[in-house]
């Protein structure tokens, strides 16, 4: 059985309780995982997304619309699968990633 990569395209939205920050979201941010990946598998972020997530400590991440098999692990700042990954379709899934952060440093 051949495996395929499943791609999730994300648009970033940052919310800060303190000050707002000028964040360039012009880059396409991607999460990648192979279909049929087991529960708890770490998803691969592209460089632009990984840089933004790593620089956003103490943030809560939420996807809209909710993709029920993806979870943002705030303790490790990674995306993991929380259910069996569905078979890949012809087009990438699309979602907005809302990062709610107490402040920007």
CATH of the domain at 7: 2.60.40
> Does residue 33 contact residue 6 with C-beta atoms inside 8 Å?
yes
Q: What is the mean pLDDT of the chain?
A: 73
> What is the per-residue pLDDT for 16?
45
The reply to whether 53 falls in a domain is: yes
Mean pLDDT of 25-30: 62
**pTM (2 d.p.):** 0.69
The reply to whether 21 falls in a domain is: no
The reply to whether 93 falls in a domain is: yes
> Does residue 70 contact residue 61 with C-beta atoms inside 8 Å?
no
The reply to whether 19 falls in a domain is: no
Total number of domains constituting the chain: 1
DSSP string, 16-62: ESS--------S-EEEEEETTPPTTPBPEEPHHHHHHHHT-TT-EEE
The reply to whether 20 falls in a domain is: no
> What is the per-residue pLDDT for 78?
87
Highest mean pLDDT among 9-13, 15-19, 26-30, 85-89: 85-89
The reply to whether 37 falls in a domain is: yes
The reply to whether 67 falls in a domain is: yes
Specify the higher pLDDT residue, 61 or 50: 50
HSE at residue 90, side-chain half, CA atoms within 13 A, is 0
């Amino acid at each position: 059985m051949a495996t395929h990569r499943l791609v999730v395209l994300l648009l970033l939205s940052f919310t800060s309780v303190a000050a707002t920050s000028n964040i360039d979201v012009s880059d396409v941010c991607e999460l990648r995982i192979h279909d049929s990946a087991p529960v708890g598998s770490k998803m691969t972020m592209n460089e632009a997304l990984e840089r933004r997530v790593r620089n956003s400590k103490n943030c809560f991440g939420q996807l809209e619309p909710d993709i029920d098999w993806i979870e943002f692990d705030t303790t490790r700042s990674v995306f993991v699968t929380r259910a069996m990954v569905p078979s890949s379709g012809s087009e990438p899934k699309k979602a907005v990633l809302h990062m709610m952060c107490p402040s920007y440093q």
